């Protein structure tokens, strides 16, 4: 079973529930930890910024206190790669510290350099920028911003997973096995485990009903034989 969900969205971006709905759903599912990990500000459609992000921070703190006896509630953020080695982690002191930082390339983010422009072209037009460079760009940003996990690696633009895994192991960053869609092949999952990097399973829930729904990720991980490399998996 999976004991923590570090990747959930709410109405603050394009999810359907409130943060409290997600927390209640996580308690019902028997989880011991949940993170509200909204899209970071650079996402043009779903990014949470300014006063909204501050309000979310307050709400997460309130929920953490209210439900402390039942579950650990964490403040997360799903950051966007905005340029080579750069992410849109807000620097405001009143928002910090984030308990869980995710990082991914997303469409709908204004590219700040030619590197990200090429990836945006790939996401829309299926061009072929170097996947090794994509992996290295994610790793450079992960190091610079102290990222904890790569969300849905390989989604939207191809990243060389062995390169990502090697660097992730060195930095102590986790690769997410996303339970909303499969983004890594069985070979990539096995190669990651063989290289000594670890996984985390996340629901990427955009509704309370999907909080703690790990079915797709669990079956994908089990088939690849990498379950024991998933940090939030507990056998039995």
The verdict on 122 binding Zn ion (CB under 5 A) reads no
- For the CB of residue 151, give the shortest distance to Zn ion in the complex, in Å: 5
Shortest Å distance, C-beta 83 to Zn ion: 18
Secondary structure of residue 81 in the 3-state scheme: strand
Using the rule CB under 5 A, give the single segment among 66-74, 79-87, 92-100, 204-212 that binds Zn ion: 204-212
Q: Is 204 in the site for Zn ion (CB under 5 A)?
A: yes
DSSP state of 225: T
Nearer of residues 151 and 184 to Zn ion, judged by Cβ: 151
Residue 68 or 78 having the CB closest to Zn ion: 78
Contacts of 141 (CB under 8 A, 6+ apart): 79, 81, 85, 86, 87, 103, 147
**Residues in region 69-88 near Zn ion by CB under 5 A:** 78
**Nearest distance in Å: CB 73, Zn ion:** 17
> Residue 20 or 176: which CB sits closer to Zn ion?
176
Cβ contacts of residue 98 below 8 Å, gap of 6+?
75, 76, 77, 89
- Nearer of residues 123 and 195 to Zn ion, judged by Cβ: 123
Q: Output the residue with the shortest Cβ distance to Zn ion.
A: 204
Contact region with Zn ion (CB under 5 A), list: 49-57, 104-112, 189-197, 211-219: 104-112
Q: What is the crossing angle of helices 19-28 and 50-66, to 10°?
A: 30
For position 59 contacting Zn ion by CB under 5 A, the verdict is: no
Q: Which two tokens stand for residue 132?
A: 């090794």
Q: Return the number of the residue (70 or 154) whose C-beta is nearest Zn ion.
A: 154
Among 103-111, 124-132, 158-166, 191-199, the segment contacting Zn ion (CB under 5 A): 103-111
| Dist. CA 27–CA 221, nearest whole Å | 24
Distance between CA 4 and CA 38 in Å, rounded?
16
- Report in angstroms how near the CB of residue 80 gets to Zn ion at its nearest: 9
CB of 155 to Zn ion, least distance (A): 7
The tokens of 65 are what? 């206190």
Concatenated DSSP letters of 95-153 = TPPPSEEEEE--TTB---SHHHHHHHHHHHH-----HHHHHHHHHHHHHHHT--EESST
The site for Zn ion (CB under 5 A) is made up of: 78, 104, 151, 204
């Amino acid at each position: 079973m999976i004991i923590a969900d570090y990747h959930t969205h709410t109405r603050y971006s394009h999810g359907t529930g409130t943060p409290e709905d997600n927390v209640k759903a996580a308690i019902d599912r028997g989880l011991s930890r949940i993170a509200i990990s909204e899209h970071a500000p650079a996402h043009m459609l779903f990014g949470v910024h300014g006063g909204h992000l501050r309000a979310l921070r307050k709400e997460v703190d309130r929920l953490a206190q209210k439900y402390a006896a039942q579950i650990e509630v964490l403040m997360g953020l799903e950051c966007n790669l905005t340029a080579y080695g750069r992410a849109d982690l807000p620097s405001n002191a009143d928002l910090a510290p984030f308990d869980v930082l995710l990082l991914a390339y997303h469409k709908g983010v204004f590219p700040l350099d030619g590197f990200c422009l090429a990836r945006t072209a790939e996401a829309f037009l299926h061009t072929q920028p170097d996947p090794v460079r994509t992996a290295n760009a994610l790793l450079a940003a992960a190091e610079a911003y102290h990222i904890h996990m790569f969300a849905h690696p390989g989604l939207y633009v191809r990243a060389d997973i062995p390169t990502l895994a090697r660097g992730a192991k060195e930095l102590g960053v986790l690769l997410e096995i996303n339970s909303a869609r499969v983004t890594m092949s069985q070979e990539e999952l096995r190669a990651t485990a063989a290289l000594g990097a670890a996984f985390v399973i996340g629901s990427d829930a955009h509704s309370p009903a999907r909080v703690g729904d790990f079915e797709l990720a669990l079956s994908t991980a089990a088939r690849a034989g990498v379950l024991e490399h998933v940090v939030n998996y507990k056998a039995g």
